Structures are given as C-alpha cells and as structure tokens.
Chains A and B, each alone.
Chain A
Amino acid sequence: MSSPWYERLQSIPKPAIYATLILVFLVPLIRPMGLPLLMSENTRKAYEYIDALPEGSIVFHSIAFNPAVDAENWPQMLALVRHYMKNGLKIIFYPTMQEGGMYAERIRSTYAAEYGYEYGEDYVILPFKAGGESAIAGLKDFWSFMPSDVDGTPLKDLPLFQGFTDMRDVDVIVPCTGSSDGLFYVSHLNAAYGTPIIMAGTAPVLPFIGPFLASGQVKGAIIGLSGAAEYEILAGVPGQATGAMDAQSMGHLLIVGLVLIGNLGFLYGKRVNGKNGQNGRRS
C-alpha cells in the first residue's frame, strides 16, 4: 500500500531533488531571465570607497583563495581588478596561499594588457610566503620581509616602489579570501597603521567579518557570488557573476519551496496522526 501524500512530501527521493536543482540552474544559465538584483549596503560601500580613491593610489590586493572556492572569489577579484585598472590605481598582489599566485599570473597574462597596465610600473606580484598570520604580520617590516617580487627582481628596482617606505603608503588593503584570513590584516595592519580594509570573501565568511563591518574596522565587503555580481554592475564591468545570478536566485527559490513542501507534509501529518496519538514525522 502506498504511503499517504503528506508522508511522500517528506521523503522526496534525493536524485529527483538533485536533478530538479540542476535543471532549475541550467535553464536560466542557457536563457538568462534578467531578474533584478538587489544591491547590498556592504558592496555599495566597498565600491564607493574604491571608486573615490584618486588615480595612482596604491591598492594592496591579497589573494587568499584556491580552486576549491574560486567559484566565488575569482569573479570578485576580477571585478575588483578591472575597477582598479579602469580608475588607474596601482596594484600590489600578495598571495597568502600558494595557489593564489596563479590568479595574479592570470591577471598578468590575460587582463593587464586590456587596460594598458605595465608590470612593475602599474602593478607588481609579490611572492607567496608561508606562515599564515605570521606572513601578514611580517609585512610591518616590509623591506626586510619582502625584498623582491615573484620573479626575483628586487622591489627597489621597480618603478611602483620608488618612494614606497612601508605599508603606511598603501591606501587600501583588499583581502580576497575563502576563510577568515582577511581578519589578520585587521589585527596587524589596520590596528597598527589604520590602513582601511575592504574585504572580499565567500558567503560563509560574512558572519566572521560582520562585527568588524559594524565597528567600522572593515569599510565594506563583497560577499559571495551575489557580491561579485553587484560589484560588476556597480563598476560597469559585467562578467561571469552577473550571468550566474538568475540561476542562483532560481536555485534559492527551489530550496525555499522544498523546505515549505516538507514542512507542509510534516504539519499536516502531525495533525492527522495527532488524532490517532502518533507523531507526524515519518519513521
């Protein structure tokens, strides 16, 4: 005998859920729907801060992510870097994860020429340094900690570093991260020099940096793929994230719908079985 409908609602086969999810994602990816996107306050603050920096300001862009989370971090980084380059800002890339260097190299090989950016003059890639928090605290002693760039060229020979004394000359630090590593910059560089920080992180990072946003220690934040899409729109550099947002929104709608359906079955079952002295949950 088949189980009643309210019990079946609580036990939809997992393969059916996954197949529906993939379908719900695919349709808007193939045929974009152009759903409106809400702008979050954190992204707007981040954009406005970067946009207000005068041409030639130095951005210290830290890369603390790897392929496991680059679905969110890479679109953020690309949108940010395009915005820096559009506004003529000088960029120092610093990978604090070993795989981070390849994203900086991707900028050098593919995107820098698009904006006429010259290596050494407009941007520089620093080498990875092992040590996590120590590798960020070490930046306070910049010249002895970081004598050369990723290619082994002494930094003092590069035009970007002419007149650069230490991290106090950096106008903003932008950690792009898949963990709470960005907070090490708050602890060591913001606390020591008051250098402003804009954070770009994966979605689960927000609860960690929320208190620092509220206290003003972090000026703005780009969070998750939605943050990347918002930034792309604000900066006028549409990319991969904007195209993915319809699919993301539809996926969230599906999940909310499934939660409601499961609860509807549970509550109805509880009501029916309650009369018979049983719990509504399926055993």
Chain B
Amino acid sequence: MADTVGTYLSGLLIVACFSYLFKENRAFTYAEHLYVGFAAAQAIVLGWSNIKEMGLDPLRQGKFILVIPLVLGVLLYARYYKPLSHLARFPLAFMMGAAAGVTITGVIDAQLVAQVKATMLPMTNLNNVVMVLGTASTLAFFLFIPIGKKAEGVKAANGFGAGNLVRNLGRATIMLAFGSSYGYTVMARLSYLVARLQFLFGRIIPLIPD
C-alpha cells in the first residue's frame, strides 16, 4: 500500500516538475519547495547519523580517542561566537593538512608521473601524433610569453608566426575537449528524461512493454 502511494506521489511530483517547461505554476512551486525541504531534512539526518555511527557510538564503547575529532567538529561552530571565533581555525587547519596529506601521496604518482609518461609516445600512428601535438599545444596555450620569431609587421597578440600556430592548435584542442564534454552532458540529461518517462509510462500508466 505504502509502495503504491509512494509510486503515485512520485509520478505526480515528476509531472509537477515537468510542468515548469511550459510555464511556471503553483504545482511546480510546491514540488520545488518540497524538494528543498526534503533535501535539507535528509542532509541533517545523514549528517547526524554519521556523527552518531562514526563518533558517538564508538565513543560509548570506549574509543576515547574519538573525543579529539568530536571536539574539533564542535570548534568549527566557534566562528559564530566572536570572542572564541579564532578557535575555528584549529579544525580547519587540521582538515586542510589531512586533505593535503591524503591527496598528495596518490596524486603525484597516479595523476602526474603516470600521465606525463602516457603522453611520451612514439609518433608512429595518427592517434599518437594527435595525442602528443594536442597535449603540447594545449600546454603552450597557457604560456604567457611570446613564442617564435617576430616577422616584419606582425603584432605580438599570441606570439609570432609558429607561436601563433601552436597556440591556435592548443585552443582548438581545448574547444574539442569542451565540445565533447558538453555533448556527453546533453546525453546524460536526455538519459534522465528517458528514465523518468520509463517510470511514468511503465509503472504508473503501463504503456511501455517490459
């Protein structure tokens, strides 16, 4: 019963959200407010259950070391009380330090050394040529000094002669990457629409075959 009510309620809310595509209306505003309210409530519940399960419960079982992160967590709120606001810097500094420590160890090898190695390719096929030229020219695009020899009467907008060519190639590579990213984003958004239609016309109005 609860499942059925939930399914129909979801269907109604989906239709209310889609109604915005045609015109802003009360149904959409109601769905929007409901969403914001639920999202805020869920964030609070999830946050509290994290604190409880990972901090308070183990503390009760005798893991007293967890007092340190719990106190640091409380100190984050000190910034709202001016005489003690400086105390909020301690947990922030701890978080920044821990994040930097955790990140740097993995990033240097996996995202720097391995990636640089992966672009050192023999120029024996078109793929490799595109990869090497694309990477080099993209990096050159971010060099803020003129590259190449100055030809008579040429202004130093991006560089001179060959420098201009390299930067333009870099810009084209970046635009291709952005275009591809945009295309994939459109594809994802359409997938979400398909899923909602599958739900509406599969489970609520059973028109779509199984």
List residues of chain A with CB under 8 Å of any chain B CB. 14-15, 18, 21-22, 25-26, 29-30, 32, 69-72, 98, 127, 129-130, 133-134, 137, 183-184, 186-188, 190-192, 202-204, 206-207, 211-212, 214-217, 223-226, 240, 243-244, 247-248, 251-252, 255
Contact = CB atoms under 8 A, between A and B. Distances in A.
A105 to B, nearest CB: 15
A70 B207 CA distance: 22
Given A32-B209, A134-B98, A215-B117, A187 B106 contact: yes
B191 A72 contact: yes
B188 A224 contact: yes
B201 A240 contact: no
A215 B188 contact: no
B92 interface: no
Given A30-B201, A30-B207, A204-B185, A15 B21 contact: yes
B190 interface: yes
A217 B114 contact: yes
B194 A29 contact: yes
Given A134-B102, A202-B188, A207 B181 contact: yes
A127 B53 CA distance: 10
Chain A interface helix/strand/loop/mixed: helix
Contacts of B201: 26, 29-30
B20 to A, nearest CB: 10
Contacts of B177: 207
A30 B206 CA distance: 9
- Bin chain B's interface residue count: 35 or more
Contacts, number: 131
A249 to B, nearest CB: 10
A130 B185 contact: no
Contacts of A134: 98-99, 102
19 contacts: A22-B193, A29-B201, A30-B209, A69-B192, A98-B49, A98-B50, A133-B102, A187-B103, A187-B109, A191-B109, A191-B114, A202-B191, A203-B184, A206-B184, A211-B118, A214-B131, A216-B118, A217-B114, A224-B191
A187 B23 CA distance: 46
Interface in B107-147: 107, 109-111, 114-115, 117-118, 131
Contacts of A21: 193
A145 B139 CA distance: 40
A224 B187 contact: yes
B195 A217 contact: no
A193 B107 CA distance: 14
B63 to A, nearest CB: 12
Contact of B118 (A18, A29, A204, A215): A215
Nearest to B197: A25
B46 A244 contact: no
Nearest to A205: B184
Contacts of A29: 194, 197-198, 201, 208
A60 B117 CA distance: 27
A252 B21 contact: no
A71 B195 contact: yes
Given A187-B110, A255-B186, A129 B54 contact: yes
Nearest to A188: B106
A96 to B, nearest CB: 13
B187 A215 contact: no
A204 B69 CA distance: 35
Contact of B21 (A18, A191, A224): A18
B177 to A, nearest CB: 6
A181 B54 CA distance: 21
B188 A186 contact: no
Contacts of A192: 106
Given A191-B110, A243-B198, 9 more contacts: A15-B21, A29-B201, A30-B209, A71-B191, A134-B102, A203-B187, A207-B177, A212-B115, A223-B184
Identify which of B21, B46, B184, B191 gathers the most chain A CB atoms within 10 Å of its CB: B191
Nearest to B193: A25
A104 B22 CA distance: 37
Nearest to A29: B208
B180 interface: yes
| A-B pairs with lowest CB-CB distance, top 9 | A187-B106, A215-B118, A71-B195, A203-B188, A203-B184, A225-B191, A191-B110, A187-B110, A18-B21
A206 B182 CA distance: 11
Contacts of A212: 115
A47 to B, nearest CB: 20
